[in-house]
Structures are given as structure tokens and as C-alpha cells.
A = this chain, B = another copy of it.
Amino acid sequence: MNLIKQENYIANTWVSQGNGSFLEVFDKYTAAQIAKIPMATEAQMEQAIVAAQSAFIELKSWSAGKKSEKLWALRNKIEEHQEALAQLIVKEAGKPISYARNEVSRCITTVETAATEAVRFTGEMVPLDFGPGEGKTAFTKRFPVGPVACITPFNFPLNLLLHKIAPAIAVGCSTVVKPAPQAPLCTFALAMFMDEIGFPIGTMSALVCDIPVAEKLVKDSRMAMLSFTGSEKVGWYLKSIVGRKKVTLELGGNAAVLIDADADLKEVAKKVAVGAYIYAGQTCISTQRIFVVDAVFNEFKTLLTAEVENLKTGNPEDDAVLVGPVIDKGHVKRIEEWVNAAVENGAEVLTGGKVASEANNTFMPTLLTNTKNSMLVSCAEIFGPVAIIEPVADFKAGIEAINDSDFGLQAGVYTNSFENVKAAHENIEAGGIMINNIPGFRIDSMPYGGIKGSGLGREGIKYAMEDMTEPRLMVY
């Protein structure tokens, strides 16, 4: 089975005609073109929406058991094509192969979790046997909201798609997907699997398209919800144009880690180096800001710099490589500019700081210090292999430094002080606080999502299933 499909999937049909222009997809390391997909027309988007509507009518009548079975089938398809999918991710997303394999393995978990949550999902009993409710019984069942518009990012082209599709199937929502233009191929591979398994026509359409067509999807009142994972700017803008839709936004951040004096510095340096630079820092919870209490700052800085310099950068097909290419030239340039601007304003480069290979779009793993929070490398999401390391007076000051950000997705702290652990949970403004771990820790079933600029709502299968449904109370 060739996993590369160069057509849109609309109402369960593969469509090779588009608006005349094409989206070219490149190998992110070699820059070789690997696919060319027609850009969908507005009429095709309309068709997808109409199909999603009619699929919804059927899907919502499916039993939980049937939805679960279909998800098991999907899980098995993914397992069957595990290695090919990993290779595809390497190519279209430039993700190092070991990490790509990890993504596919997580995909299996994601879909399996949805398959097993589907048969557990239910409502709640509502007590109201008092006052005017005396003698009454009440409970809710949860019903799917309707078709869900899904916009997905390039960095986990399969797993972050599945974090929308799997819960949607689990509750009986149809979907229309607009994948990231940089890495749409996994979406179409998934569509091939679903096509083979057999779903009602329109269950999941997938289209690449230009912005106006995408906005049609976002605005259309027949779509009941928007589930978006991507950039902060686009996410919040879309929220303002969705109309009556429910909205889940999984945006980015400038995740921080805080290291206390009693941490095992050598061990932590190893983990933080990975957390900051793996996949060239292109994950939403990549460690971007490293705060270290004064007492051990210099020691940790030295240890970390050494670890960063040990990281292998280069061809993502190489098993030993952790840092592959940046997604495209535009981003390489942006990263370079941000770093240069920081340096010009006084930041010190501890290691890296430059483009590694123009041809391959790689940027050297870069560690900066002496930064200010006004610099983009600190206050904005760098989404590249760049981190800053700064001292803080103490743990409390470290928490304040973490909170001095427009974002709040996840944070990590390394400490053995129970007082500090408690303070971290009480005071760090983020969706998740990882104790003795990097901010990048994620289990696919855990509630995941940000506050402040980092988004709205939670994913994590069960949580997405809740968002994609409404409780319907019955009182008798």
C-alpha cells in the first residue's frame, strides 16, 4: 500500500481535480518534492460539508459498540502500517525517525484509548429529589454536537489529527479536515484507512485548500464545532469568526522548566537537552525557557551546554539524529532573525546560534543566556531549536519568571522540596505542571491544553469527547 495519496478525499471519494493550483509537499530535509495535491475549490468544500451533515445523521445512531469496533479496526490499520507511517512522517514533517516511530506508537494508543472510551462514555445522574423536584429522577446522556471542522498542524501530522478524529468517531461526530499545508500526507493516509474500513459517506473528508476556502469551513453554520491545533495568531482569529460554534484551540507556548538547587543536575541536563531540542523544538510543549536557581545556575549551564553540544543534528532518517530540519525556509529565517535580534540586544550565545545547513533547513541547537523577556526568543513561541537559560533568585522567583508570559500550556519543575512542589501546583499558570520532568511530558489520555494565550479547552480523548458532545437532561 502506497501511503502517499495525492488527491483530496471528499465525501468518501478521491478527487484529483481542484481549483487548478496545487499544493506541493517536499521532503523537509532533501527538499525533494514528494507529492502534489490539488487545492480544493469552494464547491468541493461545500460538498464535504454537506456530506458531513448527512454522515452525522447516520453516525449519531451508531451504537457505542459499533463506534468502538470501527476504532479498533482503525487502530489495527495503523499498527499494520506502523513503519511506513513513521517514514512518511520523517519525510513530510522532517521528524527524526526515532521520534516519528514514537509518534506512530502514540497514535495506536490514541485510537485504542478512543475505542475503549467509546464504550465507557455516558452521562450522569442528577439528584433533584427535593423541593419542586420531589420524587423525580433525572439524568443526562451525552449526544454528539454535529460535524466538526478540524484544522491540524504539521508537527504531529498523524497523532494530533487523531486527537480530533478518534474522539469524533467515538461520539459519532463527522469531520471535515484541513491539514497543515506543509505536512498533509498523513491525513490522506488516514483517509485511505478509513475508506477501507468503511464509514458513512462524509464521515471524514480531508481537503487542502487556500485560506478563503478554509474560512468557509470555519464559518459555515452547519459545522457545529471547530477543533483547531496550530498557531496562536490563527487560532484566536478563527475563534472570532466561527459564529455559534463551540471552539477548542490547542495553540502553542514558550514552555518553561525550573530547576531547584537539590535537583540531580547531570540527569536533568540530559533530559532538558532532549526536551528543548528534539525535533528541532517544533512541539507545542518544547522547553524554551530554562530557569535555574542562582546557587546552581553556573553548574547547570555548563552541564546543559555540553549536553546540547552532544545532540546529533542532521538527517532525520538517521536513527541517532535528534535535531532534524526546521519545517521550512521561512521559519529558518525567522528563527535566525530572532536569535540575531537577541544577540544584538545583549544575549549571549552559549552554543549554536546559526543556521547549520541552508540546503537542509537545519538550525544549530542554540542555547542563549542573558536574554530579556522582551526579546522574541523569550516572550514569543520560537518553535525552533532555540532555548534560553536564565538564573532566578529562588524557586518562588522562578515561578514568577515562568508566569511572566502570555502563554500557559505546560511547565516543568525539578525539585525535591515538597513546599516547592505544592507552590508549583498552586501558582504556576499553566494547564499542566510536570514535577521532576520536562514540560514536554504528555500521555495521550491525560487532559491536555493551555490557558492564557495557549488556547481553550482540553484534548485527551475523553476530554475531547466531552467537548464534542452536549449533555441532554431527562427529568421524570
Chain A residues with CB under 8 Å of chain B are 63-66, 68, 109, 116, 119-135, 137-141, 145, 236, 239-241, 243-244, 246, 415-419, 421-422, 424-425, 428, 430-437, 441, 443, 445-448, 451, 453, 456, 458, 470-476
> In the complex, A430 Cα to B418 Cα: how many Å?
21
- Shortest CB-to-CB span from A382 to chain B, Å, is 21
Do A474 and B425 have beta carbons less than 8 Å apart?
yes
A sample of 18 inter-chain contacts (CB < 8 A) reads A64-B127, A65-B131, A65-B134, A116-B116, A125-B125, A125-B139, A125-B140, A133-B443, A140-B447, A236-B243, A244-B453, A418-B418, A421-B421, A422-B476, A431-B470, A432-B472, A436-B476, A446-B475
Least Cβ–Cβ distance between A433 and chain B, in angstroms: 5
**Distance in angstroms between the alpha carbons of A476 and B221 in the assembled complex:** 35
CA distance A445 to B145 in the complex (A): 23
Q: How many subunits of this chain does the assembly comprise?
A: 4
Query: What residues on B are CB-neighbors of A64 within 8 Å?
Result: 127, 129-130
Which residues of chain B are within 8 angstroms of A130 by Cβ–Cβ distance? Answer: 63-66, 68, 119, 443
**Are B141 and A425 in contact, CB atoms less than 8 angstroms apart?**
yes
- In the complex the two chains form, what is the Cα distance from A116 to B109 in whole Å? 12
Give bound CA distance, A415 to B418, whole Å: 8
Query: In the complex, are the beta carbons of B141 and A137 less than 8 A apart?
Result: yes
Having A418-B436, A447-B471, one finds 14 other A-B pairs with CB under 8 Å, namely A64-B129, A123-B125, A125-B140, A131-B443, A132-B441, A133-B446, A137-B422, A140-B447, A240-B241, A416-B417, A421-B421, A424-B474, A431-B473, A437-B475
* Bound-state Cα–Cα, A421 to B420, Å: 13
CA distance A179 to B332 in the complex (A): 51
Complex: how many Å from CA A57 to CA B168?
38
3 smallest CB-CB distances across A and B, nearest first, come from A65-B130, A435-B476, A64-B129
In the assembled complex, the CB of A259 is this many whole angstroms from the nearest CB of chain B, namely 14
A445 nearest in chain B by CB position: B128
A141-B137, A447-B126 known; A433 vs B131 contact (CB < 8 Å): no
Q: Min CB distance, A417 to chain B, in Å? A: 6
